[in-house]
Structure 1
Amino acid sequence: MERALTADPYILFLLGLGLVILLVSWAPVGLKRLPLTLAIVCVALGVAIFSSGLLAFDPDPRTWDTVTEKLTEAVVIISLMGCGLKLDRKIGWKRWGVTWRLLAVAMPVTIAAGTALGIWGLGFALPMALLFGAALAPTDPVLASDVQVGPPGSGEEDEVRFGLTSEAGLNDALAFPFVHLAILASLGGLASQQALLDWGLVKLGWKILAGVGAGWLVGAAFGWMLFRDSKRKLSHLGDGLIALAATFIAYAATELAHGYGFLAVFAAAVTMRNWERDHDFHEEMHDLSDQIERLLMMLLLVLFGGAIANGLLAGLTWIDAAVGLVILFVVRPVAGLLSLIGAPQPFREKVLLAFLGIRGVGTIYYVAYALNHGRFGDSERLWAVIGFIILASIIVHGVTATPLLERLTKWRTSRAG
């Protein structure tokens, strides 16, 4: 009788996985008219499941640091492929003007402000404060899907959606060098002129160039195989799994060349899209990437909810929460608006571009990566603040993004009419 009442963890895992897959399929329709997003539902589900005591497993990222790094890494690279494939706009200096502004001004300002708040607001040492600022600077390519452009060729590419999508695809190129700088600081390397020179030449120079170059080469090779090789066009196969092949090859090849793999995946996707912009196969590849991304994202967010239920935020203080809210509602919006001074977009669009800088999975990856490669000491408080900021971003941006974008669309329509 006692054995019959004991639930097999494997069976519970299958049950939970089935529910997650059901949510992946149902959520786009079921949540359409509710002030909720898939991310909010997943986090709430994780809190409920792990608070019930049914699972003894504790998904605390502080315990599973390597697993956290690799799982978030996989989600981000698949998301970056989807970001690049769905951009209808050709790359160019003027056409991508909003993107360059957000990258060149908003991100460095956010990193600097986050580092300052880490030192004077949270009392972190310089290495951890720099990691705090760098990890929170990028707009997340995974959780920002609700504010991004639509599928390839859908026409859902207004300036706000385009700016947030392209920024999310490229901002890793600026965040990662400063994550490496934080690691260098944690190892005492800031006192070494040779170490700083290596950071500037390799981490800031070579890795970015290698990421762009390797990504372009892989994207061009896949573009030729998919659309230009008249005898063996892979697009005739109609198999969206080719997008995964391009993702993994671009990422791995670039990492072997000691470049930034995140940047390479996005560059490869944009290059592939440019080879034959109007081909239906881009939608096939995007849809496959999107489904896998949503499945992994939901699994990760359920585990994030479980970590919250098991005490991830236990070390959070009121000061920590206040600093987190300042990052979300002051630092990013002000940095975004500063970057858009003189831009031709209406002020309403600038406000949304500045406000909807969602923080999420990418931030978790950067923190896990840095802690696994540096010596930062006790990270409990850092994880608590980071977890709170991500949770607040999921809730606030999740609830407000869709209504705000719908109001912007109505305003544009009335203005045009």
Structure 2
Amino acid sequence: MTLLLAVVLSALAERSVLSTSVLFLAVGFGAARAGVPGFSGDAHMLSTFAELALFSILINDGLRVRTDELRQTWHLPGRALILGLPVTLAVTAVLAHAIAGLAWWPSLLVGAALSPTDPVFASALIGAEHVPVRLRRLLNVESGLNDGLALPIVLGLLSMHGAARATPAQAVAEVAGGVVLGVVVAWLAVRLVRLPFIAVTHQYAPLGVVAVALIVFSLSKLTHMNEFVSAFVAAVTLAHLVPRARETFAPVGEPVSETLKLAALLIFGALLPPELLRGPAANYVFAFLVILLARPVAIGLALFGSELPRQEWLTAAWFGPKGFASIFFGLLILRSGAEQADRIFDLLALAVTVSVLAHSSTDVLFARWFRQATAA
């Protein structure tokens, strides 16, 4: 029923602040509170859907990356990752300590978990052709890689207090291994289909990307490599070696990613406890400042002195949406039994909720702003 409603309202959502993401989040929350059967919420189910949604989204985003364009604008996402992510972590940790009242170690954990960004809640912006390429590449590549960079930090902080099953060195190895795995699997797949006696029909062509994605996901699990990094890198490699792969896969990949995203938001909404929304005002102040202060400060420092025009800088400063990576890290922290894990998860959940409401409702407005600027 909710999915059908989203389909019916999709055209309206494309030209207004109405967001299907907010719709599914609200329906999940309301249905669970009303006691609707099947909406009790399950943390394991949320973890599974969040992981699958993020994986499929990164496949789609990686396919959008054009390496020829990236070579010209690589320094912008590079700055956002190398400088922006640590600054985001630091500012968020200070806010968690000063406003939410957490000790320094849990504050750093909150900062690490909220440092990645999620492109799915800025899809109207990233997918708009009239938005400058360098801005879209900045947001796309940054969000494709920053969760892999944040994971070793999260695991490192957990291991310092004996609450992680992996050491920081193992986490770094997982990320590096994910890069190698993504490149190798994609390269081998392309070499296979280019053999002289091999031919791929038009009907089965989109399934080639699906097959690579499934192989990457399975091997990542078997070898304990980072599946998110391997997904993004495999997709970028495919797009570089077979440029038509992005157009071939889009009719299949985008609906699948959208469905998984909406399912994850429905479950996330069902899991949100009413006590979270009735929490202290300090929690809300923290959540809003993560969006209104941490991201702009981080991007401002990271892109200081760059050639980015004011309109693009303001857009990059606003669109640092918190999403499935933060949810995934939050569940990881919750399962670890770390000190104040419940409090940490509550702050993460509230920040993600505020971000979903704010960013998925304004991406259309920013895309329209660029369209008007282009037409002027």
- Which of 157, 161, 170 aligns to 1:202? It is 170
The change in CA–CA distance for 1:29 and 1:230 in structure 2 (over 3 A counts) is farther
Q: What residue number does 2:361 align with? A: 399
Q: What residue number does 1:42 align with? A: 24
2: CA distance, partners of 1:120 / 1:338:
22
1: CA distance, partners of 2:192 / 2:73:
28
Q: What residue number does 2:113 align with? A: 135
2: CA distance, partners of 1:237 / 1:85:
19
1: CA distance, partners of 2:45 / 2:25:
19
Q: What residue number does 1:254 align with? A: 220
- Which of 175, 198, 204 aligns to 1:232? It is 198
Question: Is the 8 Å Cα contact of residues 312 and 387 (structure 1) preserved in structure 2?
Answer: no
Instruction: Letter of the 1:104 partner, please give it.
Output: I
Would you say how many aligned residue pairs link Structure 1 and Structure 2? 376
Normalising by structure 2, we get a TM-score of 0.90
Return 5+ residue gaps in structure 2 as ranges: none
Counting only pairs closer than 5 Å after superposition, residues 125-164 of structure 1 correspond to structure 2 as: 125-149=103-127, 158-164=133-139
Q: 1:312 offset after TM fit, Å? A: 5.5
> Is 339-348 or 123-132 further displaced after alignment?
123-132
1:292 pairs with 2:256: yes
Q: What residue number does 2:33 align with? A: 51
1:270 pairs with 2:236: yes
Bigger relative contact order (CA 8 A; separation at least 6): 2
- Which of 311, 314, 321 aligns to 1:351? It is 314
Question: Is the 8 Å Cα contact of residues 58 and 231 (structure 2) preserved in structure 1?
Answer: yes
Q: 1:186 offset after TM fit, Å? A: 3.0
Q: 1:246 offset after TM fit, Å? A: 1.6
Return 5+ residue gaps in structure 1 as ranges: 1-18, 190-194
Question: Is the 8 Å Cα contact of residues 336 and 354 (structure 1) preserved in structure 2?
Answer: yes
Instruction: Letter of the 1:113 partner, please give it.
Output: V
Counting only pairs closer than 5 Å after superposition, residues 81-160 of structure 1 correspond to structure 2 as: 81-90=59-68, 92-149=70-127, 158-160=133-135
Question: Is the 8 Å Cα contact of residues 92 and 110 (structure 2) preserved in structure 1?
Answer: yes
Q: Which structure: larger Rg?
A: 1
Q: What residue number does 1:170 align with? A: 145
Instruction: Letter of the 2:229 partner, please give it.
Output: L
Counterpart of 2:79 in 1: which secondary structure? helix
Q: 1:306 offset after TM fit, Å? A: 2.3
2: CA distance, partners of 1:210 / 1:238:
29
The change in CA–CA distance for 1:301 and 1:350 in structure 2 (over 3 A counts) is same
Instruction: Letter of the 2:13 partner, please give it.
Output: L
Question: Is the 8 Å Cα contact of residues 27 and 266 (structure 2) preserved in structure 1?
Answer: yes
Question: Is the 8 Å Cα contact of residues 113 and 330 (structure 2) preserved in structure 1?
Answer: yes
Percent identity, aligned pairs only, is: 23
2: CA distance, partners of 1:141 / 1:222:
27
Instruction: Letter of the 2:188 partner, please give it.
Output: A
Question: Is the 8 Å Cα contact of residues 312 and 383 (structure 1) preserved in structure 2?
Answer: no
CA offsets 1:98-153 (integer angstroms, 9 cap, x no match): 11111011111111222222233323244422221111111114333233235xxx
CA offsets 1:381-409 (integer angstroms, 9 cap, x no match): 32332222122112222222211222123
The change in CA–CA distance for 1:88 and 1:149 in structure 2 (over 3 A counts) is farther
Normalising by structure 1, we get a TM-score of 0.82
2: CA distance, partners of 1:53 / 1:92:
49
2: CA distance, partners of 1:332 / 1:360:
14
Q: What residue number does 1:3 align with? A: none
Question: Is the 8 Å Cα contact of residues 87 and 162 (structure 1) preserved in structure 2?
Answer: yes
Q: What residue number does 1:217 align with? A: 184
